[in-house]
Structure 1
Amino acid sequence: MQNDTQPLNDTLVSKSLSAADYVPTLDAMLARTLERIDLKKQQGLRTPDELWIVDHNDVYTLGQAGKEEHILQRTDTPIIKTDRGGQVTWHGHGQLVIYWLFDLDSLKWSVRNLVSHAEQAIEDVINDCLRSSPSNSDNISAHARRDAPGVYLYADTAATDDSTATDDSSLDNKIMLGKMASLGFKIKHGFSYHGIAINLNCDLSSFNAINPCGYAGMQMLRLSDFVAMQTDSEQTELEAQTEQQMSDSFSYETVTQKLIDNIAKRHAGLIELRAIAPK
């Protein structure tokens, strides 16, 4: 497991973990959160918040109130009970996982703010990729839902100038295609951990063994089926591509960086929450 830490600003750092097993990652995340809680309580210190960018080895995780009935088939992939919210999901290579180790009280964020910032950051990045892709017909967009946490792709029933709007009120004339991103957090003494998972170019067949996030029949989607994404072998040929070819496709790394940048701006107060439609 490789570990690379980078400062994003005075109060936020990112930490990258590749080929990470779930249990030691969770143990380290919890230990760091407890350490930060203790430093704040005992010494009044505000430690920098952290984004953990994780490439997990294959694993199914079951949330704190998760029901095992949502595991439809036992495979060789480990099933780990964990302390986040939500039901069962899968993590593995080709999926981008970002854990948000944030001091919510210092940010003056409520738990609802945290969830909305996470969902809207994902919406921003996925929609930016969709709009930038020549293969997209401009009638597919990413949206959060008030009744089910996460980010989903929708297709317009009729193309309109409003097709890139991202509030729930714009969903009346759209058909849901499926779910691309999941989220589940844990809050302890005002500090968050766990976070978000976005399917970029992973093998979606692993979701067939579960009811993803507790929803039977939920269609899981990946970004690479909607925009051109480079494979590992193609990335080695990147220098030989023209500027236009590079702009027409995305890599796992470029999408990751877009999301980190968006989250960092939200953390610094440079991107405000959009209004959320009532349920």
Structure 2
Amino acid sequence: MSQASAGAVISPVSERRFRTLRPGRLPYDAALALQEDLLDKRRQFQEDTLILLEHPPVITFGRRAADSHLLLSEGELARRGIEVVRTGRGGDITYHGPGQLVGYPIVDLDPVGRDLHRYLRLLEATLIDALAAFAVTGETVPGKTGVWVEGAKVASVGVAVRRWVSWHGFALNVGDDLSGFSAIVPCGLQGVAMTSLERLLGRPVPLPEVEERVIAAFARVFGSRHAGECEI
């Protein structure tokens, strides 16, 4: 494992800015529609958008996910109030639910050389930077996406690109309830242990506090200025 290096940070681009959009708890389909709308508008504006939200319980399949990585029937999941959605993002299968901070950056990738691999590393570096603000040391695993702490996975990353604008994004486990992950093989990794910021710190962590740390880290890593909030 390795910590993100300073080389993961990109050089500031003249007038590079982003706004945040924080709609609270949003169903997955509504968040998808919101991303689609912002994707269509991105080329009309000079600013990126970082959407930060929570989802009701939902399991999402990435393009590479195997059906065998879902450990319960969709009928049983429906009885438990967990939705199942097949998506166009990269990566395998994951779980989203209350107490998890989900980030959907709508980012023009021209400043990173239209390099998807580099963009993934920048998202990981952003999460590692945010964790460091809580005195938690996050690491990456060669050949895998996401962020680990002491061998357990604390954040997942899965993205998509349209006309070299990114969508989908990352999920950082904040709350202590990780029971939803028991219904899947997280990220398709057999035997992987999941953890959260609250478990690592041994105390509750308000989600708005984590949001602020992620915003500050995103600004530093992407060399972009936070230009405030935008409305839906």
TM norm structure 2: 0.82
Aligned partner of 1:268 among 213, 218, 223: 223
User: 1:82 aligns to what?
Assistant: 87
Root-mean-square deviation (Å): 1.9
User: 1:57 aligns to what?
Assistant: 56
Task: Give the residue type in structure 1 aligned to 2:198.
Answer: S
Aligned partner of 2:41 among 23, 35, 54: 35
Q: Deviations over 1:80-114 (max 9, x none)?
A: 00110011101111001011100011454521221
Aligned partner of 1:225 among 194, 199, 222: 199
Aligned-partner Cα distance in 1 for 2:95–2:176: 11
Alignment of 1:123-202 (within 5 A): 123-130=128-135, 141-154=137-150, 176=151, 178-202=152-176
User: 1:4 aligns to what?
Assistant: none
Seen in structure 2, the aligned counterparts of structure 1 residues 228 and 255 have a Cα distance that, compared at 3 Å, is farther
Aligned partner of 2:214 among 259, 268, 273: 259
Query: Runs ≥4 in structure 1, deviation > 2 angstroms?
Result: 106-109, 265-270
Contact 2:18 2:224 in 1 (8 A): no
SS class of match (1:195): strand
User: 2:100 aligns to what?
Assistant: 95
Give percent identity, aligned residues only.
Answer: 26
Aligned-partner Cα distance in 2 for 1:200–1:22: 18
User: 2:10 aligns to what?
Assistant: none
SS class of match (1:89): strand
Contact 2:16 2:46 in 1 (8 A): no
Seen in structure 2, the aligned counterparts of structure 1 residues 107 and 46 have a Cα distance that, compared at 3 Å, is farther
SS class of match (1:226): helix
Seen in structure 2, the aligned counterparts of structure 1 residues 142 and 267 have a Cα distance that, compared at 3 Å, is closer
User: 2:12 aligns to what?
Assistant: none
User: Which structure: larger Rg?
Assistant: 1
User: 1:25 aligns to what?
Assistant: 31
Tell me how far 1:53 sits from its aligned partner. Answer: 0.4
Task: Give the residue type in structure 2 aligned to 1:90.
Answer: Y
Aligned residue pair count:
205
Contact 1:63 1:86 in 2 (8 A): yes
Tell me how far 1:46 sits from its aligned partner. Answer: 4.3
**Range with greater deviation from structure 2 (24-33 or 192-201):** 24-33
